A and B are shown apart, each in its own frame.
Chain A
Amino acid sequence: MKEIIQRLKQQFTISNVNQQRVDLTFLSVKKEQAVSLISYLRDFEKFSHLVFLTAVDRVEDIQFQLTYMLHNYNTHQDLGIRVLIDREKAEMASIHHLWKQAGTYQRELKEMFGIDFPGSPRVDESFILEGWDNIPPMRRDFDTKKYSEETYFPRPGRESHDPESYMKSKLYPEGDA
């Protein structure tokens, strides 16, 4: 793995290299170099398998962290590539030309995080949520509790109680035991 990192350093600006396990390494790369780095790893370093592509919402830094996990079947190494992109104008170059299933990942990220991948097939079609008109639900600032309170209503004819006082009145009807 160290030799690969050395070779990568000659061509790309990579940082935050972290060897998590013997067979798992993470590194960060700039947004502009990400797709060429991934293409290089696929074509020349035998990282032929895209394990997954996902995002982490770094809302405090106003950034999304994309993680591309690649796997090399010859050395059985996993390599996670972190790419930080701007949260306000979330857009990333597509990699659907490298792997067929990447299009599905990108479609999901568009829907769940609102990250756009221009040119990716069917990226604007809804994947899981149909007719969603709120902010993308996997963003940290999407309030699930508020959404469900506004959207769903309890069926009429049901009483709801405050659990603590209700249990107390059930267990100790005479008052404090």
Chain B
Amino acid sequence: MFTPDRSKYPEIVDGKAVIDLDSGKYLKLWQGPQHPGVTGNMSLELIVCGDEVVDCKTHVGYLHRGFEKLMERRKFIQNFPIVCRICVPEPDTNEYLYAAAVEEVAGIKIPEQAKWLRTLNMEMSRLTSYLMWIGGHAGAFGLGPIGQWAVTHRDYMLDLFEEWTGGRVYHMYMIPGGVRNILPDGFDRRLEDTLQKIEKLMSEIEKVMLNNAVFKMRAVGLGIITKDMIDRYGVVGPIARAAGMKRDVRKNSPYLMYEHLDFDIITGTKSDAYERLLVRFREMFQSIDLIRQIMKYIDNSKNIHTKLPNVLHWKIPAGETYVKAESTRGEYGYFVVTDGSELPRRVYVRGPSYSHAVALLEDLIINVNIADVAGLMTSLHTYPPEIER
């Protein structure tokens, strides 16, 4: 077991580390923005002592495209192809939340079948996003092949999305008022085939990753988040659940058709990187189960869209609302303010990575070996575009 020499560590004065870069004891190191171990385009300004991190600053801004500002200058319907671009691996949460917020302010009710199709879309996107994540997480610990397997299976899911919605990555499927398409013929059979392939993949990942001694030695005990940190840092989603918190927006504030589905909140106890992997791993199985449950309610003969006013001159009365949904990272939300005109006054996107990747990561990374920084980041499952919308 590695025991670091504590005498080399910075002196702590008034709760702050005194770091003198000229002393020759420390090295400033940039991890990112181009680094295979960094999720997306962000960078960490690390100060290391030996191979342990003693200070960290998160830098974002490499991916800023000004979505919130763009949306203020576009009509409600013009914004709907923009919102999915905010999160690449899981765009459907953004689509749903934007549509739901606009519908709520405008007072539109959507047909039940559209809600089922939206729920199906959300669960499929959850599974797709987790597949990408598990590949990245394995890669961060040096288990490269798992990344290739997982991304291949993500592609099978993207094929399904393509035949259903016409788009592979950005689906632009949930428009205000309902959804765009019914399921194509034979979709249920091909979906079931893909789910079985993913289940087989998961059993293989369990053998080579979850039961891998090297992986366990690195991941167990990495980045422990105690229960009292959860609220102080605004931690949500699987990270909070891995600490034993029964918090899931799907269950606590049910939206769409989740109240009709049978599932439990999956929690862990140890709250380290390995436990977070276990929670997400079980949620992938849960997601597969939910997709099978939802498919029983899909009926292609029913209405899937409400009639809207002319969307090019659609004025929505003044109001404000906040809608939220459970994404793979936790509570995702849209705060929309309207002022009675054809354009939204303000659209604010609340992404869970906002607190995870800045305030939480900067404190959690202290005393972590630089080889494990990538693993710690992926175990927090951060996506920079949520921080710098």
Contact = CB atoms under 8 A, between A and B. Distances in A.
B60 A128 contact: yes
**Range class of the A interface residue count:** 20 to 34
Interface string B66-93: 1011001100000000000000000000
A138 B68 contact: yes
Contacts of A26: 320
Interface of A: 20-21, 23-24, 26, 48-52, 54, 56-57, 67, 69, 73, 76, 78, 80, 99-101, 103-105, 126-130, 137-138, 140, 144
Interface string B275-309: 00000000000000000000000000000000000
Contact of A100 (B69, B359, B388): B359
A78 B323 CA distance: 10
Contacts of A100: 232-234, 355, 359-360, 363
B253 A49 contact: no
A75 B185 CA distance: 43
13 contacts: A21-B104, A49-B236, A51-B333, A56-B346, A57-B346, A67-B320, A73-B252, A80-B320, A99-B231, A101-B354, A137-B69, A144-B66, A144-B69
Interface in B86-133: 104
Interface of B: 60-61, 64, 66, 68-69, 72-73, 104, 231-234, 236, 245, 247, 252-253, 319-322, 324, 331, 333, 335, 337, 345-346, 348, 350, 354-355, 358-360, 363, 388
Nearest to B345: A56
A51 B331 contact: yes
A128 B60 CA distance: 6
Contacts, number: 91
Given A52-B350, A101-B359, A144 B335 contact: no
A80 B322 CA distance: 9
Given A52-B333, A100-B359, A104-B354, 8 more contacts: A20-B322, A49-B236, A51-B234, A56-B346, A101-B233, A101-B354, A101-B355, A128-B61
Contacts of B69: 137-138, 144
Nearest to B357: A104
B109 to A, nearest CB: 14
A76 B350 contact: no
Contacts of A57: 346
A147 B25 CA distance: 45
Nearest to B350: A52
B322 A78 contact: yes
A50 B234 contact: yes
A69 B322 CA distance: 9
A104 to B, nearest CB: 5
Nearest to A77: B253
A83 B232 CA distance: 22
B345 to A, nearest CB: 6
A137 B70 CA distance: 11
B17 to A, nearest CB: 14
Nearest to B246: A73
A137 B68 CA distance: 11
B234 A99 contact: yes
A106 to B, nearest CB: 11
Contacts of B354: 52, 101, 104-105
A67 B233 CA distance: 19
A43 to B, nearest CB: 11
A144 B71 CA distance: 12
The 6 residue pairs across chains A and B that have the minimum distance between CB atoms:
A101-B355, A128-B61, A101-B359, A48-B231, A100-B359, A52-B350
Contacts of B322: 20, 24, 51, 69, 78, 80
Given A69-B335, A144-B69, A127 B346 contact: no
B231 to A, nearest CB: 4
B233 A99 contact: yes
A148 to B, nearest CB: 10
A104 B358 contact: yes
B319 to A, nearest CB: 8
Given A51-B350, A54-B348, A101-B354, A129 B64 contact: yes
A76 B252 contact: yes
A26 B354 CA distance: 23
Contacts of A67: 320, 335
B335 A103 contact: no
A56 B253 contact: no
B294 to A, nearest CB: 23
Contacts of A138: 68-69
B320 A20 contact: yes
Given A56-B345, A73-B247, A137-B69, A127 B350 contact: no
A23 B73 contact: no
Nearest to A54: B348
A128 B355 contact: no
Contacts of A126: 61
A57 B68 CA distance: 13
Contacts of B324: 51, 78
A126 B60 CA distance: 10
A129 B350 contact: no
Given A54-B335, A76-B253, A103 B61 contact: no
